[in-house]
Amino acid sequence: MAAAYRSYAHHHPGRYSAFTRMPLGGDDPEFTQATHDAAAPVISVLASYGLDNEAGFFAALEFWSAMHGFVLLEMTGVMSGI
């Protein structure tokens, strides 16, 4: 999953940037559903390791934070040469 996330960000930098700059939450039920649908694969994998409910949510948040940070460092050149 991490490789797919990273690959998408590098192959679609404009979309990735737009996606990561959108405000989370809000009153739009379609946006809320799309957010849940996008997180479902990560949450499903984490549940297979016994992380569900609140633990799964926070583990998914940690995964997303780590991936976003790593990709952002790559895209800004901080990771070049490493």
**pLDDT at 50 > cutoff 90:** yes
Count Cα atoms within 13 angstroms, Cβ side, for 75.
17
- Residues of the chain with pLDDT > 70: what percent? 94
Question: What ranges do the domains of the chain cover?
Answer: 2-75
pLDDT of residue 79: 87
Find the angle CA(54)-CA(60)-CA(64) to the nearest 5 degrees: 145
Cα(32)–Cα(77) distance, integer angstroms: 33
pLDDT reported for residue 19: 78
What pLDDT, in 10s, does the model give residues 21-37? 766 666 788 877 887 88
